[in-house]
Amino acid sequence: MISFFGNLALVISLALALVLSLFPIVGYFLNNEWKSLARPLTLLIFIAIAIAYILLTSAFLNDEFSILYVASNSNTQLPLIYKFTAVWGGHEGSMLLWVLFLSVWSVALAMISLRHDPVTVSLSLSVIGFVLLGIIGFIFFTSNPFDLSPRIITEGNDLNPLLQDPGMAIHPPMLYLGYVGLAIPFAFSVAILIQGKFQQQQLTWLRPWLSLCWAFLTIGITLGSWWAYYELGWGGWWFWDPVENASFMPWLIATALIHSATVTESRGSFKSWFILLSIIGFALSLLGTFLVRSGVLVSVHAFASDPSRGLFILVLIGLILGISLLLFALRARVFTSNQNLNLLSKESFLLANNLFLLVASLSILLGTIYPLILDGMGLGKISVGAPYFDLIFLYLMIPLMLLIGLGIHSDWIKSSSSKFRKLIKVAIIAVILPTLIIFILDLDFSIFTLVGYWSFLWILLSTLVWAGQLFFNDKSKVAFRQQLPMIIAHSGLAIFIFGVTCVNNYSQTIEEVVALNSSIEFNEREWFFGDLREVEGPNYLAIEAEVIMTDANGTINFNPQRRIYSNQSSAMTEASIDANLSRDLFVALGDPVNGSSEWGFRFQYRPFIRLIWLGALIMAIGGIISTIMNHRKLRLA
Amino acid sequence: MTKKRIQRILFIAILIALVSIGLNLIWNAFEENLLYSFSPTQVLNNEAPAEQTIRLAGMVKEGSLINGTDLLVEFTLTDFLNEVTVQYRGITPDLFGEGQGVVVQGMMRDDIFYANENGLLAKHDENYMPPEVADILMNQ
């Protein structure tokens, strides 16, 4: 029953998406009433997809193992909350979540922005309809979550234990909201290309969407990093795994888009650049879907390995990218503006920002897909080591960090040099202060540590000096309020850089065999392995160690576990972490050595690692505040 | 030539120089960090470069895993045609175990493959099989 109605809902949404992808565009050219179909169609598609999604969820809640997807991702013992999240725990369901979010975004666009710019928004909805058509078709024909089981199954498989975790419950939805949200600037740009005219005022209604989807993307990536840190048991926060790269590339482009949108909105220039970037951004987010979902990657995220799926998405990307770039080639000349670019203007700083972000994104793309291309052509299997990404990123980000401070203090058209003179003082403080502290405290350092602290202080101080100027020189505080999101986001970036620098340079890790009732010394702390016991969870059995840490401030208990989930044979590490703002202490339990009284342990000390995620969240908060403020401004106007 | 034109030419020349230096740095970093991946059969046929970090992919042979003292882990990696002995020091990651697919990063020396620090890569689901091994099984 569920399978039948689920398929029915998919077919209906597929048909509606076909209508949506055609009618408003045809209506635009014929200039008739078909244009106004965009809004009701968008709503109907949302209802159809939501019904399909609710049906699938209810199949999970009722242990409907006659549906193959449910049987392979859930079982009767799975805790209730993970039955909800298991819906997107596998390939098919996560694609359904993808289109659900795309239709949520399109409904929101229709409800909120249609009245501001009816023609462009209806055309945009039509473009989104085309994307929906492609992805719903992909789900229905190659990855149908409602397919029936070939035989009677009484007990399901288990959800990948790595995914049975509260962090994992919210990471994919956030990331997907951000990923999919990039469809809005993309659809907008295609709509602009179809019309052949682009007014800078149009960005006023587009920008809140851009900053909102950027904020979701930021939160999603941050949650993923945090999850990998405590769940994979390695204590790292970023691995340059292809799947991480797949989410990071669209983030870099979205960041570039936010910056170039301010130029287009304020100065009317960079129009074709903005359009090109938004096409690249959405193509990368589709490519991310392809990378993660086609099974070409060796990672925890690659659930599926069916070549027809990869081919389908590849053809879809080719179509979307091909059509939009063709349109771009035909129309881009319309948008060229003949403004001279002064080297020391805000425009050129933002252009430089965009170039660095784009090159960073393309370098990551090179490292991520080159191995796939080589493998696809049968020229051997290679991978690109993490040092490549580290190095490239460092090269590209150092100049960008320098530009941030200058860019914030620059003016449109032409900056007055007196503004930059103030910054010399800031630069001197940013260089001397950390250097002095390092020498006085006699800390280890490398040139990169220094550059890290310099960048941190440079960005933080130049942002705060700017904020102070706006705040105290203008009684009405209009300019200050206007720039508050930017100030918050850049401060968040500075905090993030501080965290990364500390973690990269002052982390400590040891792996040691410790016998029961004995202790070791690590990080000037005493670690006593006091007890070992069995713990029973809802759907797993765990061996739990008790480690008591003693230092000058007292004692802390750690209870790291190794869990064996039912239906799985290998053990999962559940690290025990004591966290505060200035440091994380991390204990993971390994395998027994010599019988059962001696165990392998991993001990880690990570200074200021929380600031990495805190900084990123502050950036996202900047994005959300910007969304709210710009949206409110729009309503008042 | 006007002053403006000279300025512009200078600007373009600097830009081109910077871009080409940048691309060169990126490409060098890229080439230095390429890791080639091999199966045990390829390694034993000397298809892999010696004394160089490579990736070795295969399945951990049933009954071969030894958790020694001092966290020294030894196991046999097989592609069902040939086998290589692998040594690793450290705590093994989740989802690593007998009968599982794994990719090991390290170096071959005197018939033993020494895995690097954090060189056991097994961050995937339980039923994972490295493509190198899957290819061999397909061709049989």
* A-chain residues near B25 (CB < 8 A): 392, 395
Cβ neighbours of residue A615 closer than 8 Å, sequence gap 6 or more? A492, A493, A494, A495, A496, A497, A498, A499
Do β-strands B83-89 and B112-121 pair in parallel, antiparallel, or remain unpaired?
Answer: parallel
CB contact under 8 A, A233 and B67: no
Closest chain A residue to B29, measured at CA: A388
Question: Contact A232/B90, CB-based, under 8 Å?
Answer: no
CA–CA distance from A119 to each of A116, A200, A262, A289, A328 (Å)? 9, 15, 23, 30, 19
A600 chain-B contacts, CB cut-off 8 A: 67, 71, 91
User: Which residue among A298, A386, A593 places its CB closest to the CB of B130?
Assistant: A298
DSSP per residue, A421-432: HHHHHHHHHHHH
- Tell me if A125 sits within 8 A of A133, measured CB to CB: no
- CB atoms B91 and A591 under 8 Å: yes
Whether A412 contacts A345, CB under 8 Å:
yes
DSSP state of B34: E
Specify the DSSP element, H or E, that contains A554.
Answer: strand A554-558
Question: With a CB-CB cutoff of 8 Å, which residues 136-165 of chain A face chain B?
Answer: 160, 162
For residue A542, the SS3 value is strand
Higher pLDDT, residue B122 or B64: B64
Q: Which of B29, B57, B92 sits opposite A392 (nearest CB)?
A: B29
The mean-pLDDT minimum among A86-95, A195-204, A229-238, A544-553 falls in A229-238
pLDDT for residue A304 is more than 60: no
Residue of chain A whose alpha carbon sits nearest to that of B72 = A593
State the nearest Cα–Cα gap between A511 and chain B, in angstroms: 6
Residue A301: closest C-alpha in chain B:
B124
Q: Is A133 exposed, middle or buried (0-12, 13-18, 19+ CB in 10 A)?
A: buried
Q: Which of A385, A569, A601 sits opposite B33 (nearest CB)?
A: A385
Among A395, A360, A357, residue whose Cα is nearest residue A260: A357
Residue B61 is predicted with a pLDDT of 92
Q: What span, in angstroms and rounded, lies between the C-alpha atoms of A522 and A394?
A: 31
* Percentage of the residues of chain A whose pLDDT score is greater than 70: 96
Binding-face residues of B in 41-80 toward A, CB within 8 A:
55, 57, 67-71
pLDDT value for A127: 97
Kindly determine whether residue A363 and residue B128, on different chains, have CB atoms separated by under 8 Å.
Answer: no
* Beta-carbon contacts of residue A600 (< 8 Å; ≥ 6 apart): A511, A512, A513, A589, A590, A591, A592, A593, B67, B71, B91
Alpha-carbon gap, residue A116 to A221, rounded angstroms: 32
- Identify the residue among B4, B8, B43, B71 best suited for mutation to test binding to A, counting A beta carbons within 10 A and taking the highest: B71
Whether residues A388 and B103 touch (CB distance < 8 A) is answered with no
Separation between Cα atoms, residue A294 and residue A291, nearest integer Å: 6
Q: Please give, rounded to a whole number of angstroms, the shortest distance from the CA of A85 to a CA of chain B.
A: 17
List the single residue in A300, A382, A568 with the smallest CB-CB distance to B36. A382
Q: Give per-residue pLDDT as tens, B57-100.
A: 888 999 999 888 788 999 999 988 999 999 999 888 877 888 88
Q: Which residue from B67, B124, B130 is facing A299, i.e. has the nearest CB? A: B124
Above 90 in pLDDT, residue B119?
A: no
Whether pLDDT at A154 is above 90: no
The predicted model gives A90-116 an average pLDDT of: 94
Q: Is B28 on the interface with A (CB under 8 A)?
A: no
Task: Quote the pLDDT of residue A301.
Answer: 40
pLDDT tens profile A517-534: 999 999 999 999 999 999
Report the residue of chain B nearest A511, measured CA to CA: B90
Report CB contact under 8 Å: B71, A512.
Answer: yes
Chain B: closest CA distance from residue A584 (Å):
20
DSSP state of A235: -
B4, two tokens: 């403006």
Query: CA B37: distance to chain centroid?
Result: 6
- Residues on chain A touching B95 (C-beta within 8 angstroms): 162, 570, 572
Instruction: Pick the residue from chain B with its C-alpha nearest to A601.
Output: B91
pLDDT of A619 reads: 98
Task: Decide if pLDDT at A7 tops 80.
Answer: yes
| Residue A453 pLDDT > 70 | yes
Q: What amino acid is encoded at A603 in this protein?
A: F
User: How high is the pLDDT of residue A273?
Assistant: 93
What count of Cα atoms within 13 Å lies in the side-chain half-sphere of residue A165? 22
CB A511 within 8 A of CB B91: yes
- Contacts of residue B18 in chain A, CB cutoff 8 Å? none
Between residues A188 and A161, which one has the greater pLDDT? A188
Chain A residues within an 8 Å CB radius of B70? 513, 593
Please count the other Cβ atoms lying within 10 Å of the Cβ belonging to residue B20: 10
On whether the CB atoms of residues A257 and A209 are closer than 8 A, the answer is no
Instruction: Report the pLDDT value the prediction gives residue B123, as an integer from 0 to 100.
Output: 59
- Rounded Cα distance between A189 and A209, Å, is 13
Q: Does A355 touch chain B (CB under 8 A)?
A: no
Q: Which of A256-270, A372-386, A533-547 has the lowest mean pLDDT?
A: A372-386
Residues A70 and A578: their CA atoms lie apart, in Å, by 36
Contact B131 A381 (CB under 8 A): yes
- In this structure, the number of other CB atoms found within 10 A of the CB of residue B48 comes to 20
Helix (H) or strand (E) holding A395: helix A386-409
Which position has the higher pLDDT, A382 or A458?
A458
Does A387 touch chain B if contact means CB atoms closer than 8 Å? yes
Backbone angles phi, psi at B37, to 5 degrees: -115, 135
**pTM (global) more than 0.90:** yes
pLDDT of A256 above 80 = yes
Query: How confident is the model at residue B88, as a pLDDT?
Result: 94
Dihedral sign for Cα B88, B90, B93, B95, please.
Answer: positive
- The pLDDT value recorded for residue B124 is 58
How high is the pLDDT of residue B136? 67
Banded model confidence at residue A298, pLDDT cuts 50, 70, 90: very low
A151 vs A400, residue with greater confidence:
A400
At A160 the three-state DSSP class reads coil
Q: Do A568 and B126 touch (CB under 8 A)?
A: yes
pLDDT, residue A26, reads 93
Burial class (CB in 10 A: 0-12, 13-18, 19+), A619: buried
**Residue A569 predicted with pLDDT over 80:** no
Q: Helical H runs in A198-345?
A: 202-231, 242-267, 271-293, 307-331
Which tops the pLDDT comparison, A134 or A538?
A134
Helices A271-293 and A166-181, packing angle to 10 deg? 140
Tell me which chain A residues have a C-beta less than 8 angstroms from the C-beta of B33: 384-388, 391
Measure CB to CB from residue A382 to each of B37, B126, B128 and give the nearest one: B37
The whole-angstrom distance between residue A198's C-alpha and the CA centroid of its chain comes to 29
pLDDT digits (tens, 9 = 90+) for B29-68: 888 888 888 889 989 998 888 788 898 988 899 999 988 8
ipTM score assigned to the predicted complex:
0.84
pLDDT at residue A314 in the model: 81
Q: Do B30 and A234 touch (CB under 8 A)?
A: no
pLDDT computed for residue A307 by the predictor: 64
CB contact under 8 A, A571 and B94: yes
Residue in chain A lying closest to B69 (CA):
A593
Residue A214 Rama label (left phi>0; alpha psi -120 to 50; beta): alpha
Write the pLDDT tens digit of every residue in A486-497. Answer: 999 999 999 999
Least confident of A172-176, B93-97, B119-123: B119-123
User: Inter-chain contact A383–B55, Cβ cutoff 8 Å?
Assistant: yes
Closest CA to A35 of A131, A110, A112, A136: A110
Is B15 part of the contact surface with chain A (CB cutoff 8 Å)?
A: no
pLDDT score at A313: 80
DSSP A585-603: EEEEEEEEETTTTEEEEEE
* Distance from the B7 Cα atom to the nearest Cα atom in chain A, whole angstroms: 11
Mean confidence (pLDDT) of chain A: 90
Residue A601: which of A564, A576, A580 has the closest Cα? Answer: A576
d(CA B22, CA B19): 5
If 0-12 CB within 10 Å is exposed, 13-18 middle and 19+ buried, where does residue A281 land? buried
For residue A219, give the nearest of A190, A183, A181 by alpha carbon: A181
Test B91 with A588 for CB contact under 8 angstroms. yes
pLDDT in tens, A390-435: 988 888 899 999 999 999 999 888 877 787 888 999 999 999 999 9
The answer to whether the CB atoms of A382 and B34 lie below 8 A apart is yes
Residue labelled with tokens 């450290």: B90
DSSP code string of A479-523: HHHHHHHHHHHHHHHHHHHHHHHHHHHH-EEEEEEEETTEEEEET
Q: Please name every residue paired with A547 in a beta bridge, in sequence order, or none if there are none.
A: A529, A558
A chain contacts of residue B36, beta-carbon cutoff 8 Å: 380-382
CA distance A305 to chain B (A): 10
A566 pLDDT higher than 80: no
Residue A295 has pLDDT above 80, yes or no: no
Copy the structure tokens of residue A366. Answer: 């090179």
Spatial contact of A259 and A353, defined as CB atoms under 8 Å apart: yes
pLDDT at A303: 36
Q: Would you call B100 an interface residue with chain A, using a CB distance cutoff of 8 Å?
A: yes
Considering only the beta carbons, identify the residue of B26, B100, B124 that sits closest to A298.
B124
More confident residue, B121 or A588: A588
Residue A269 confidence (pLDDT): 86
Query: Percent helix, strand, coil in chain B (nearest 5)?
Result: 35, 35, 35
Pairing type for strands B54-60 and B34-38 reads parallel
- Best CA proximity match to B32, nearest among A390, A236, A378, A396: A390
A 601-630 residues inside an 8 A Cβ radius of B? 601-602
Contact list, B71 vs chain A (CB under 8 Å): 511-513, 590, 593, 600
Mean pLDDT along residues A169-197 = 93
DSSP state of B85: E
Kindly indicate the confidence band of residue A500, based on its pLDDT and cuts at 50, 70 and 90.
very high
Q: Chain B within 8 Å of A588 (Cβ-Cβ)?
A: yes
- Name the more confident of B121 and A396: A396
* pLDDT tens-digit series, residues A21-78: 999 999 999 998 888 899 999 999 999 999 999 999 999 999 999 999 999 888 898 8
Q: Is residue B43 within a helix (H) or strand (E), and if so which, with residue range?
A: helix B40-44
User: CB distance from B116 to chain A under 8 Å?
Assistant: no
Residue A320, both tokens: 């979307």
d(CA A38, CA A25) in angstroms, rounded, equals 9
